[in-house]
Amino acid sequence: MNEINIIENKISLYSSFANDTYNLEIYTPDCPVPENGFPAIFVLDGSSHFQLAADVVRLQHIRHTKTGVHPSIVIGIAHQDEDRRNKRFRDFTALSDQVVFPDRMKGKIPDIYGGAEQFLKFIDHELFPEMNKHFFINQEKRTLFGHSLGGYFTLYASVHSPSLFDTYLACSPSIWWNDYELKSYIEKTLDVQNNRAQRRQLFVGEKEGFMVEDAKHLQQLFQQYNYDCKLYIAPDENHASVVPTIMSRAIRFASI
């Protein structure tokens, strides 16, 4: 049974697809509801990034003509504390017959992975309907934000289920997962799709080493197939520091 606390905008939501319960936090702007509903920004790893995203909207939407940040609902999706690391690998990575791990993963290989399709079904068939029951959301203005493995999942979703969101924000995406399988999947998928209305922006810290080149190559790949994909490289930032520095820019992009 879902535990709803609308007063505090906190929800525990069970997923039959993932067979797990997620903690959700929701920020709603204190202003009149737009005619078509509020845009909604869905933030993966909500326990780490929800409050930051919510504060960006809360502090800037009042002067949106200057900041470019419009009033939006922010929804943080968080794994519960128990075994959070393995659950991220489970939900944010695609199913594959064989998984190749880089040498740097030795001693850190996850126990479970490959549940991205089930997590997408959770978002589409369980999370969206639950949010729509309680909040007036503009169905044409939904954004997904993810960092690291969450960034990988964001890009996976953008080609696997492109109509779920209209904007995809991938920060420091783990493109390296399973020997760069995402690039191969994109090459096989984009040339047969016609969902070019969706927008993508990649973010990466200048000091993230190989991930900078990975992001550049992926942007070029999307553009090769005439898909909208922008890239911002944050000066002087690394994998741990990049999210706070780009969040305002990311939400401003989503508000366009």
Q: What residues act catalytically? A: 148, 208, 239
d(CA 94, CA 30): 38
**Alpha-helical runs (H) found in 70-209:** 84-92, 116-122, 128-134, 149-160, 177-190
Phi-psi region of 226 (alpha: psi -120 to 50; beta: other; left: phi over 0): left
Task: Please give the structure tokens belonging to residue 253.
Answer: 């992009």
Instruction: Estimate the share of the chain in helix, then strand, then coil, as percent rounded to the nearest 5.
Output: 45, 25, 35
Indicate the SS3 state at residue 183.
helix
The DSSP line for 4-39 is: EETTTTEEEEEETTTTEEEEEEEE--SSPPPTT-EE
Q: What one-letter code names the amino acid at 242?
A: V
CB-side neighbour CA atoms (13 Å) of 32: 3
**Cα–Cα distance list, 160 to 82, 119, 155, 197, 216 (Å):** 29, 12, 9, 15, 21
Task: Please give the structure tokens belonging to residue 63.
Answer: 């002067």
